[in-house]
Amino acid sequence: MDSVRLRRVLISGLLLVLAVGGGVYLYVQRPAGLPPGLAVGNGRLESIEVDVATKIAGRLSQLLPREGDFVEAGSIVGRIDVADQQAQLRAAEAQAHQARQAVNESRAGVQKSASDARLAGKTLQRSKELVARGFVSSATLDKDVTGVQGARAGLSQAQSRVAEADAAVAAAVAKAESLQVNIDDAALKAPIKGRVLYRLAEPGEVLAAGGKALTLLDLSEMYMTIYLPTEKAGQVAVGSAARILLDALPGQPIPATVSFVAAKAQFTPREVETRTEREKLMFRLKIKADAAWLTAHRDLAKAGMPGIAYVRLDAATPWPADVLIDGK
């Protein structure tokens, strides 16, 4: 009985020693905490979404890229059928041509009216001289005065017709230019360089003005949103160095910078009275990934990937080993 009790005591003592030893080992081997000059936050990699929409209403005749395809900025990705607008453009161009012909005729009329006015003026001058000599009656002079007035009125009317014809030309040209703009806008162009996230329409569908055809992801503008407590956020400035480490890419730290620090706290009680409540204050930060890195690793980082972001509060503080880039 004594030997059994002794064996149990020995086993219990051995287990206690092992437990204490294991605890000491884990304590010694624990990962070092972040130094005071660094802050860290969790988040997901995000990207800006841009829609490709039609400015004019019409039937979608062509949509080239598929979901997942990469498109360049300014490239034509689709077209709206503009047969009706093209017919209207031809009619507007014909109207502009007719209006220009009317301008030429009106200007010729002005020249004739001006010639008539000059002739009437000379006739009136001769009549005045003849009346003064007594060769013609005053009735002839009155007639010539009336002729001058009529010629001048005709000249003014002809000049008005020229102004009206010029306005008609301007209106026809403006209509043609407006139709040409709509025809040009029928070519749907990618506003950014990025990847097609969603294909929202198919050829043959009729889209209203503003109807969306594609949604693109801007892969050159990716960022992670994190939240830091007041004592950390107060030390962060826009432009501070940062590193993003994604769960799916543990060996690929992404160089980054702080592009935004909220001017107002989040998760804030209405009235902050105690230190405990003040500790609940959190500020939103945006950590923008380096554009050159994203361009070089276009197919590596993807929007939605979770990870963590390190923010350097003190330029002299070294980065943790898992986010070193080229040993720095």
**Shared domain check, 119 and 74:** no
Question: Which pLDDT belongs to residue 225?
Answer: 92
| Measured CA distances, 132 to 18, 125, 128, 323 (Å) | 145, 11, 6, 112
- What global pTM score does this model have? 0.61
Does residue 24 carry a pLDDT above 60? no
Dump pLDDT digits (tens) for 116-172. Answer: 556 656 665 665 555 566 555 556 555 655 655 655 655 566 666 666 667 777 777
Domain assignment present for 131? yes
**Shared domain check, 202 and 164:** no
Domain assignment present for 168? yes
- Residue showing tokens 């200007």: 107
Dump pLDDT digits (tens) for 25-60. Answer: 333 333 446 788 899 999 999 998 999 999 989 999
**Shared domain check, 157 and 92:** yes
Dump pLDDT digits (tens) for 51-102. Answer: 999 998 999 999 999 998 999 999 999 999 988 888 888 888 787 777 777 6
Q: Is the dihedral of CA 121, 126, 127, 132 positive or negative?
A: positive
Question: Which pLDDT belongs to residue 27?
Answer: 35
Containing domain of residue 56, as a range? Answer: 52-82+187-212
**Shared domain check, 128 and 66:** no
**Shared domain check, 115 and 94:** yes
**Shared domain check, 316 and 230:** yes
Tokens representing 52?
Answer: 């490709």
CA 248 to chain centre: 31
| Interval 4-20 mean pLDDT | 54
User: Is 183 within 8 Å of 85 (Cβ atoms)?
Assistant: yes
Does residue 294 carry a pLDDT above 80? yes
The Cα–Cα gap between 228 and 278 comes to: 13
Q: What angle do CA 286, 318, 288 make, to 5 degrees?
A: 15
Which residues contact residue 36 at a Cβ distance below 8 angstroms, ignoring those fewer than 6 apart? 313, 314, 317
Q: Could you tell me the CATH number of the domain that includes residue 280?
A: 2.40.30.170
What total of structural domains would you count in the chain?
3
User: Which of 93, 21, 97, 86 has the alpha carbon at shortest distance from 58?
Assistant: 86
**Shared domain check, 195 and 121:** no
